Structure formats: C-alpha cells, structure tokens
A and B are shown apart, each in its own frame.
Chain A
Amino acid sequence: DTAVSQTPKYLVTQMGNDKSIKCEQNLGHDTMYWYKQDSKKFLKIMFSYNNKELIINETVPNRFSPKSPDKAHLNLHINSLELGDSAVYFCASSLREGLREQFFGPGTRLTVL
C-alpha cells in the first residue's frame, strides 16, 4: 500500500495557468509538508501543516496556496504559473512528536512552458 501518494506524477502546462497537485497519506500522521526540488536537486521546504493548521510558510510567492481538507490530505494550488515554477514538488508526512522521520511521496514533476 502506498504510504504517501501524489497526483499527478507529471504536469505540463502553459505559463499563466492555474494548477493543483494532490497529496494523501495513509500513515495516520498529523503533520504534512510540501517541498520543492529544483533542477540542481536542491530541496527546500515550502509549507508545513499540523492537524490542518499552517505551521511553516517559508518565503514562497503567494501564488502558492496549500489547502488541507483533513489530516490525511494536503493539496498545493498554484496560480498564474511561471517558468521558474518548473521543478519537482514533493509531499511528505510525519508524526509531530518525537522528531520522527518524514515519509516522502514520489514527487510531481511540473513543467511550465
């Protein structure tokens, strides 16, 4: 069974469009994250949610908006896509207490043309 799943796996779109990436975890975790991995493989956290509440919001353009309908889901909506948004986006989850490790999804490769 997939622990952390993301859809779609690949997303190709035009500049200016709005798109969403969905993430679901079936691990019973209470904290979920979105990361961006650029073309040089550098990984940077974008958002962190705990029990549906935003905990961390790094310096990310407000075109990016996370939405957490429940503890098991954390979706990422991106408005007015730009060329620089092209990257691989990873969702992850963990238990908040005890410094537990994070479990990552397979990633969504976003290409903006």
Chain B
Amino acid sequence: AQSVAQPEDQVNVAEGNPLTVKCTYSVSGNPYLFWYVQYPNRGLQFLLKYITGDNLVKGSYGFEAEFNKSQTSFHLKKPSALVSDSALYFCAVSRAGAGSYQLTFGKGTKLSVIP
C-alpha cells in the first residue's frame, strides 16, 4: 500500500519569506512523487514531479521540491513567497498497478501568505 503524509494542516508565512510545505511518503519500490495546487473553487493544477534523476526538481511559479530517499520526504519550497501563492497544496505518490498509475494524495496543506 502507498500513502502520503502532510503533517501540517496549515502553514503561514510572511510575503517575501521562504516557504516550505512538508510531505513524507510510503511506497514499495521507487516512488513517483507529485505536487499539485488547488486555488479556491478550482481544480487541481500540476506544479512539479519527481520520477528519477536530480533530487532537486524545479516546477511552475518558482516552486521546487527536494526528494530525499533516506528520509522518504518530498518537501515543496519557494525562496520568496507571494500573496498569490496562498492556496491548498497536495502531495501525491504514484505506483504502477493494474496497468495504470494511481495517485494517492495527502490530505493537503493550506498555505497562507501574509502581506
């Protein structure tokens, strides 16, 4: 079975400060990891993914994430937060099964960037 944990329900950060949204995972075999963002009353939007290769993955809107195999983590980061980054962030892990790929999502972390 695969699972994702996002230990923080909410993260508050001041505009211009760096932000981190935490994610840890559990999966048998190699993990395929994703971050999605959901703005109010909208569908999820893809930010970035880790499949293989460089542990530091760069994505949309200046976000990046670092894959750490020993800590089974995939934390989302941004050097300087914007008010417009305020949203709900989901980490997800995927596995191969039944011929397709099934995403298991974390429960989400609400990011609030304070002006």
Residues of A within 8 A of B (CB): 4, 31, 40-45, 48, 50, 55-56, 90, 92, 94, 96, 99, 101-107
Q: Number of contacts between A and B (CB, 8 Å)?
A: 59
Residues of B within 8 A of A31 (CB): 100
Interface residue B103 (Cβ < 8 Å from any Cβ of A) = yes
Tell me, rounded to whole Å, the shortest Cβ–Cβ distance linking B85 to chain A: 17
User: Whose C-beta in chain A lies nearest to the C-beta of B52?
Assistant: A99
| Pairs across A and B, CB under 8 Å, 8 listed | A40-B107, A43-B105, A50-B99, A99-B32, A102-B46, A102-B103, A104-B43, A107-B41
**A50 CB contact (under 8 Å) in B41, B100, B108:** B100
Q: Is the CB of A55 within 8 A of B99?
A: yes
> A43-B90, A56-B100 given as contacts; is B107 within 8 A of A103 (CB)?
no
**A41 CB contact (under 8 Å) in B32, B36, B88:** B88
**What separation, in Å, do the CA atoms of A107 and B39 have in the docked complex?**
12
> A40-B107, A43-B90, A99-B51 given as contacts; is B100 within 8 A of A48 (CB)?
yes
The 4 closest A-B pairs by CB, nearest first: A104-B43, A101-B46, A55-B100, A104-B44
Residues of B within 8 A of A107 (CB): 41-43
Tell me, rounded to whole Å, the shortest Cβ–Cβ distance linking A35 to chain B: 8
Contact with A along B24-49 (1 / 0, CB 8 A): 00000000101010100111111001
Residues of B within 8 A of A (CB): 32, 34, 36, 38, 41-46, 49, 51, 88, 90, 94, 97-105, 107-108
User: Whose C-beta in chain B lies nearest to the C-beta of A3?
Assistant: B43
**What separation, in Å, do the CA atoms of A56 and B99 have in the docked complex?**
9
Residues of A within 8 A of B51 (CB): 99
Residues of A within 8 A of B97 (CB): 56
Tell me, rounded to whole Å, the shortest Cβ–Cβ distance linking A24 to chain B: 14
**What separation, in Å, do the CA atoms of A44 and B92 have in the docked complex?**
11
Residues of B within 8 A of A102 (CB): 44, 46, 103
Residues of A within 8 A of B104 (CB): 45
